Amino acid sequence: MKGLVIKNTGSWLEVKTDDGQTFQCKVKGTFRLKGIRSTNPISVGDNVVFSVDSEGYGLISEIEDRKNYIIRKSSNLSKHSQIIAANLDQVLLVATIVHPETSTMFIDRFLATAEAYNVEACIVFNKIDLLTDEDKEYLKSMRYLYEGIGYKCCEVSSLTGEGVKELRDSLKDKVTLFSGNSGVGKSTLINTLLGREIAKTGEISSYHDKGMHTTTFSEMYEIDGGGYIIDTPGIKGFGTVDFKRDEVSHYFPEIFKASADCRFNNCTHVHEPGCAVLKAVEEHRISASRYTSYISVMEDESESKYREHDR
């Protein structure tokens, strides 16, 4: 039988067939994905082949080719990775200016991974009803930065409904991954977009103004009228996986564009003479925060380094 993985609890995978049946499945013990050391070889969004035993439980024996996926370094096992979701049309990174503040480092690492794995990305600035005039100016500068690079940005509030219809329209007939730090209101936003209470919502911890995990596993929800939303647990840090140092600049579009004018074609944009990227940073044509993120990703070969940067 063939089906779509719509839920991953860590212990079981829920698989839905074309005729709407769902089966609780395990992965065949010998199953491994070539070239990927992952804590979860199969993820939500995967198309799989499975068999069903006499008690109605499934055993997954094969995974069909993926068109893409989003992956991050596992926070507990630095040499392993975690596939967040597969076969995506787009990813929406839910970010907040305050309560809590999403760091540009986190945003940039996520966007770089989306670039590396060929997934269209959009930044959704949530909780805009909480913003002061000063916060709104900062949000304006954030949009100017990321839209100038070429990323779509939108502003929403689950509380007031501002921006919700436009965001919902952008999801039609697409498989969309929602991701972000804990506490950015992702689950509340998903409930608002779906028009029903699906995802659990939580409070913001007063300690360091950080969110508490409310989603404990990944799950796929069908949208009325066509399409799917994939909800994932909130994440603190975002460690990049298997980025070669000489390819990191490819995942920062404005840095890659500027690099065409570097004196050396193997320029790392760190210390070389005649580096067009360093000149662009000095002249503020490339944001200092983006360049800092670029250097951080370049240094990811030092294990655990990303945790220090992202928190």
CATH of the domain at 271: 1.10.40.50
Q: Is the peptide bond before 41 cis (omega within 30 degrees of 0)?
A: no
Q: 120 is written with which tokens?
A: 């269209």
> What domain range includes position 278?
245-310
Task: Please say whether the dihedral angle defined by the alpha carbons of residues 131, 134, 138 and 141, taken in this order, is positive or negative.
Answer: positive
Q: How far apart are the C-alpha atoms of 261 and 254, rounded to whole Å? A: 12
Provide mean pLDDT across the span 238-242.
67
In a domain, 238, yes or no: no
234 within 8 A of 186, measured Cβ to Cβ = yes
Q: Are residues 132 and 41 in the same domain?
A: no
Q: Are residues 177 and 250 in the same domain?
A: no
Number of domains in the chain: 3
Q: Which own/partner contact pairs does 115-118 have at CB distance under 8 Å and 24+ positions apart? A: 115/250, 115/251, 115/252, 115/253, 116/240, 116/243, 116/250, 116/251, 117/68, 117/69, 117/70, 117/71, 118/68
Predicted confidence (pLDDT) per residue in 95-116, tens digit: 999 989 999 999 999 999 999 9
More confident residue, 238 or 154: 154
More confident residue, 232 or 293: 293
200: number of CA atoms within 13 Å, CB side? Answer: 14
* CATH at residue 100: 3.40.50.300
User: Does residue 210 carry a pLDDT above 70?
Assistant: no
For the chain, what is the HEC assignment? CEEEEEEECCCCEEEECCCCCEEEEEECCCCCCCCCCECCCCCCCCEEEEEECCCCCEEEEEECCCCCEEEEECCCCCCCEEEEEECCCEEEEEECCCCCCCCHHHHHHHHHHHHHCCCEEEEEECCHHHCCHHHHHHHHHHHHHHHHHCCEEEECCCCCCCCHHHHHHCCCCCEEEEECCCCCCHHHHHHHHHCCCCCCCCCECCHHHCECCCCCCEEEEECCCCCEEEECCCCCCCCCCCCCHHHHHHHCHHHHHHHHHCCCCCCCCCCCCCCHHHHHHHCCCCCHHHHHHHHHHHHHHCCCHHHHHHC
In a domain, 20, yes or no: yes
pLDDT of residue 231: 92
Q: Are residues 206 and 250 in the same domain?
A: no
187 within 8 A of 238, measured Cβ to Cβ = no
Predicted confidence (pLDDT) per residue in 59-78, tens digit: 999 999 999 988 877 555 45
In a domain, 237, yes or no: no
- Apex 69 CA angle, 68 and 70, nearest 5: 140
Q: Are residues 58 and 76 in the same domain?
A: no
pLDDT of residue 95: 97
User: Does residue 302 carry a pLDDT above 60?
Assistant: no
pLDDT bucket at 6, cuts 50 / 70 / 90: very high
pLDDT of residue 175: 97
In a domain, 157, yes or no: yes
pLDDT bucket at 237, cuts 50 / 70 / 90: low
pLDDT of residue 36: 58
Calculate what percentage of the chain has a pLDDT beyond 70: 83
Q: Are residues 77 and 57 in the same domain?
A: no
Its pTM stands at 0.85
Predicted confidence (pLDDT) per residue in 11-52, tens digit: 899 999 999 999 999 987 766 555 556 667 889 999 999 999
Provide mean pLDDT across the span 287-295.
97
pLDDT of residue 211: 41
In a domain, 54, yes or no: yes
193 within 8 A of 225, measured Cβ to Cβ = no
Looking at every residue in the chain, the average pLDDT score rounds to 86
